[in-house]
């Protein structure tokens, strides 16, 4: 895989017009639709005390992320200071976790949309759903030859600036260093970006509507 950037394009109040406008912009570039884009993200909370009687500490929050382009595996983002991890596991392990029942499912969000191919770039756009309610329009751009985010950041953001046409959009920046992720971009980095997006949208919804 290449290097990816993730951003919130617009909130729910502008989604209809923005979705159509963005599709037209992408298609005018000559990009070709190649498939559907789906991301599911579930927040789970620990059901019991923060630690066992023997002192074993548990993370209070567990984020489970599944991507349509990683069909067999899913990703767990575990927040437990000072140890933070992004784990890649086979989806069959989710059944084991359900049986153990250490964590209780809470909020579940989903992105549904389309993937476009344009030269060395893949452009993904989709609606961000909480339950049946669409909350935002999300865009992800991948520079397929890229390896390190730091080496491609200027190129990727210049490309996205062409799509946004100078409009203000909400970038998603994730703290890869705190989770011990290497410089080479991977699906683990992408999973952490989606957790950062989730938290950003939760914060925005709690504070009330904002302009984009």
Distance CA 192, CA 189 (A): 5
Q: What is the pLDDT of residue 82?
A: 64
Q: What is the pLDDT of residue 133?
A: 86
Q: Report pTM.
A: 0.85
Sort 30 into a burial class: Cβ within 10 Å, 0-12 / 13-18 / 19+.
exposed
Q: What is the pLDDT of residue 210?
A: 40
Report phi then psi at 24, rounded to 5. -65, -40
Sort 140 into a burial class: Cβ within 10 Å, 0-12 / 13-18 / 19+.
buried
Q: What is the pLDDT of residue 36?
A: 95
Sort 125 into a burial class: Cβ within 10 Å, 0-12 / 13-18 / 19+.
buried
pLDDT per residue as tens, the chain (212 positions): 899 999 887 776 667 777 888 888 888 889 999 999 999 999 888 766 555 554 555 567 889 999 998 888 999 998 776 668 898 989 888 777 777 777 777 889 999 999 999 999 999 999 999 888 888 889 999 999 999 988 998 898 888 878 877 566 778 889 899 898 999 999 999 999 999 999 888 776 555 444 33
Q: What is the pLDDT of residue 182?
A: 93
């Amino acid at each position: 895989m290449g290097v990816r950037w993730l951003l919130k394009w617009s909130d729910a109040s502008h989604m209809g017009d923005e979705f159509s406008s963005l599709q037209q912009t992408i298609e005018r570039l000559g990009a070709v639709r190649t498939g559907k884009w789906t991301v599911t993200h579930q927040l789970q909370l620990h059901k019991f005390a923060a630690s066992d009687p023997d002192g074993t500490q548990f993370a209070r929050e567990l984020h489970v992320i599944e991507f349509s382009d990683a069909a067999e595996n899913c990703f767990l983002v575990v927040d437990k200071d000072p140890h933070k991890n992004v784990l890649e596991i086979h989806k069959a392990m989710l059944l084991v976790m359900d049986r153990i029942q250490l964590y209780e499912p809470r909020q579940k969000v989903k992105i549904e949309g389309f993937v476009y191919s344009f030269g060395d770039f893949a452009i993904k756009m989709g609606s961000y759903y909480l339950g049946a309610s669409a909350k935002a329009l999300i865009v992800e751009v991948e520079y397929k030859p890229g390896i390190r985010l730091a080496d491609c950041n200027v190129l990727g953001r210049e490309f996205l600036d062409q799509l946004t046409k100078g409009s203000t959009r909400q970038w998603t920046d994730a703290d890869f260093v705190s989770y011990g992720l290497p410089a080479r971009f991977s699906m683990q980095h992408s999973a952490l970006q989606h957790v950062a997006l989730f938290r950003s949208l939760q914060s925005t919804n709690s504070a009330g509507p904002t302009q984009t």
